[in-house]
Amino acid sequence: MSVFTADVVPQAPEDPLFGLMAAYRRDTSDKKVDLGIGAYRDNNAKPWVLPVVKKADDRLRNDPNLNHEYLPIAGLVDFTSASQKLILGADSPAVKEKRAVSLQTISGTGAVHLGGLFLSKFLPKPLPSIYLSSPTWANHNQIFTNVGLKLATYPYFSAKTKGLDFDGMVSAIQSAPKGSIILLHACAHNPTGVDPTQEQWKKIAGVVRAGSHFPFFDCAYQGFASGDLSRDAWAVRYFVEQGFEMCVAQSYAKNFGLYGERAGAFHFIAGPGSAAQDTATRVASQLAILQRSEISNPPIYGAKIASIVLNDDKLFGEWEEDLRTMSGRIIDMRKVLKGKLDDLGTPGNWDHITSQIGMFSFTGLSENQVGTLRDKWHIYMTKNGRISMAGLNTNNVDYFAKAVDNVVRETQ
Q: How far apart are CA 137 and CA 142, in angstroms?
A: 10
Which CA distances in Å does 185 have to 11, 52, 182, 235? Answer: 32, 27, 10, 9
3-state secondary structure 238-301: HHHHCCCCEEEEEECHHHHCCHHHCEEEEEEECCCCCCHHHHHHHHHHHHHHHHHHHCCCCCCH
Contact 183, 131 (CB under 8 A): yes
Q: So which residues are the catalytic ones?
A: 137, 218, 254
Q: How far apart are CA 122 and CA 273, in angstroms?
A: 20
Beta bridge partners of 246: 269
Q: Residue 138: how many CB atoms within 10 A of its CB?
A: 15
For 291-307, b/e burial (b = at least 16 CB within 10 A) is beeeeebbbbbbbbbbb
Q: How far apart are CA 343 and CA 350, in angstroms?
A: 11
The angle formed by the CA atoms of residues 53, 54 and 60, to the nearest 5 degrees, is 85
